[in-house]
Amino acid sequence: MNRSILLFTLFWVFSATGVGRLCAQTPTDDLMMDKGQICVALTFTHDAWDEYWEGALQRSNDNIGTLTRQTIMPMFSLGITDRINVLAALPWVKTEASGGQLTGVQGLQDFGVWAKVHALHTDIGPGEFNIFGVVGLTAPASNYLADYMPLNLGLGCAEGIFRGIFQYRFDQGPYVHTQAGYHLRGNTEIERDYYYTTHGVYSNEINMPNAVDWDVVVGSWLLENSLKLEVRVDGLTTLSGHDIRWQDTPFPSNRMVSTRIGGGGQYFLPFVKGLSVIANGGYVISGRNVGQSTYFTGGLAYQFGLWNTANASTINAPTH
């Protein structure tokens, strides 16, 4: 139920022709790869909850106990030009409940591809202002059962994603960042021809509600741009849907609302150019029809040059 794209990164080392600016780039951040540079990662996320919101009611459920979701996700971001990047990811998910009779599942979830464009850069006052645009597509990568909530691997629908990202970075290192994304969802198919939400429906297709997500981040680069620390608040809201019925299981088209707080950091190792250590964590502070989850992440990311490596030199914080 939690759609965390925060990263625990473990990466096998590739030989590099050169290393330029380091980043562990995602579709929701304000980082860009230089032309010809690639960041490759294998990510892991651990997420767990033992209470959830059934509509507005916060409760526990002995038939679930503690629900744990673990995600391993290979991912890369590539600089086509200095202003156009492409990203791709393919997560593998495992779910498990500590109580009751429900059995967890595991397998490939949804593949994702995105294009990120650095649309605007301008110097303002004691820093610089940047605007980025992202378009992307996610879709199921395996024939998993979407109607097995909350132990399902994913929602089982294709999504078109449109995102705007805004950043102001001060010359001395601090920065503020905000972004918002719109998720245009297709239908989900289930393995039965009748279901009940607020009324009975004779169909194996579920009309999925669209959604928006957002975040606000405050952070800074420290120690001569070798350490990045930040705090954040983020959220997800579906634009329609219905509450979980009393004593019923969740359903893919439920209305889902969540707000999380968290923080993390990234440290660039001085003894291996291109290699950085990442750690993040967070907690859902409010929600509707979602679990009150806590997540922890950490790991490594590595960047190297594929082509046009003439400008690759030392490790620095990303600049634009």
Q: What is the pLDDT of residues 69-96, one digit of tens each?
A: 999 988 999 999 999 999 999 999 999 9
Residues 266-277 have a mean pLDDT of 87
Look up residue 27 and give its two tokens: 């579709």
Topology annotation, domain 37-305 = Porin (2.40.160)
Closest among 206, 200, 204, 233 to 219, alpha carbons compared: 233
The domain segmentation of the chain, as residue ranges, is 37-305
pLDDT value for 25: 72
Average pLDDT over residues 250-268: 94
**Residue 21 pLDDT greater than 50, yes or no:** no
d(CA 19, CA 37): 8
Question: From the CB of residue 290, how many other CB atoms can be counted at a distance below 10 Å?
Answer: 25
What pLDDT score does 211 carry? 98
Cβ atoms < 10 Å from Cβ of 60: 14
What mean pLDDT do residues 228-250 have? 94
The proportion of the chain whose per-residue pLDDT surpasses 90, expressed as a percent, equals 70
Round to whole Å and give the CA distance between 34 and 320. 9
- The confidence band for 306, taking pLDDT boundaries of 50, 70 and 90, is confident
Instruction: Check the CA dihedral 155-161-164-170 and report its sign.
Output: positive
pLDDT at 41: 82
pLDDT digits (tens, 9 = 90+) for 39-53: 888 878 999 999 999
Task: Please give the angle made by the CA atoms of 43, 15 and 110, to the nearest 5 degrees.
Answer: 25
Largest CA distance in the chain: 63
Question: Residue 303 pLDDT more than 50?
Answer: yes
State how far the Cα of 46 lies from the Cα of 42, in Å rounded to an integer.
14
d(CA 73, CA 48): 18
Q: Over the stretch 121-172, which tens digit does the pLDDT of each residue have?
A: 999 999 999 999 999 999 999 999 999 999 999 999 999 999 999 999 999 8
Res. 11: pLDDT tops 50:
no
At residue 26's C-alpha, the angle toward residues 22 and 30, to 5°, is: 70
For residue 10, what pLDDT is reported? 26
Q: What pLDDT is stored for residue 309 in this prediction?
A: 60
What pLDDT does 240 receive? 95
Place of tokens 């992307």: 136
Residue 279, pLDDT above cutoff 60: yes
Q: What is the mean pLDDT of the chain?
A: 87
pLDDT above 60: residue 1: no
**Tell me, what's the pLDDT at 24?**
54
